[in-house]
Amino acid sequence: MKKLVAILLALILSLSVAASLAEIVNPLSPLIDVNRLEGRFVLASVRSAGNGRIEFTLYEAERYAKADLEKLKKGDILVSDGQEVTVQTVSLVNETCTVNAGLEDEVLLQANEFGEYLISLDDDFHPLINLGTFTQEVNEYIPFLDNVDPATGEMRELPTVASGKDFIDNLDSDPIGFDRDNTYLLFGASNYIHMIVRYYSVTQ
């Protein structure tokens, strides 16, 4: 009996030591400072807040440092969208990092133009960081560029150019919607919205 207890204690100790040695790799801190949005073109989801105002949530893609991925080893943990993936295998070749290749929890990361790595999901989407939700009155004269035909959901050859007033007037009744997979906001001075752009998305 004493021998069995000793074996169990040794096993628990070894597991605890292994867990303490595991590295946890989190996404980098967001680049976007929501207090300094001037000149930023930011992914957003938008809904009406009434009386010419909108409520919008801003997003930024998760990014990982190459140096962190190069250090990954079996037993380490990669965190994305609040979920933990325990590393079984890792390969970093030609700006592509694959974690747990061929397994159910496989993660594929691709380098961007700045040498940082983004997780690639279906249809080239990436996990996003929620930067916060805000409310603002929309200037009725700002441009609204729409690359989607709301009647069909299809992509237009050329975007239509409407106004902020048109955007507000049709926001509630638009059948496609303005979500984080198809909408960008351009910000100007004092963090006011200067342009709204909707792109075609295969998920809409």
Sequence spans of domains, the chain: 41-61+129-198, 66-126
The phi and psi torsions of 34 (rounded to 5 degrees) equal -70, -10
The single-letter code of the amino acid at 106 is E
Q: Are 130 and 59 within 8 A, CB to CB?
A: yes
Residue identified by tokens 């979920």 is 83
Using the predicted structure, report yes or no on whether residue 123 has a pLDDT greater than 70.
no
Q: In what order do the strands lie in the sheet with 24-25?
A: 24-25, 77-80, 83-86
Cα–chain center distance at 29:
12
Give this prediction's pTM. 0.85
Radius of gyration, CA atoms only, the chain: 23
Q: Give the model's pLDDT for residue 201.
A: 85
Q: Give the model's pLDDT for residue 144.
A: 98
Name the residue among 204, 91, 96 with its Cα closest to residue 150: 204
Residue identified by tokens 């999901």 is 121
Q: Are 58 and 134 within 8 A, CB to CB?
A: yes
Q: Are 52 and 169 within 8 A, CB to CB?
A: no
What are the pLDDT digits (tens) for 151-186?
Answer: 999 999 999 999 999 999 999 999 999 999 999 999
What are the pLDDT digits (tens) for 79-109?
Answer: 999 999 999 999 999 999 999 999 999 999 9
What are the Cα distances from residue 92, in Å, to 32, 95, 126, 194? Answer: 27, 7, 19, 40
What are the pLDDT digits (tens) for 20-72?
Answer: 578 999 999 999 999 999 999 999 999 999 999 999 999 999 999 999 999 99
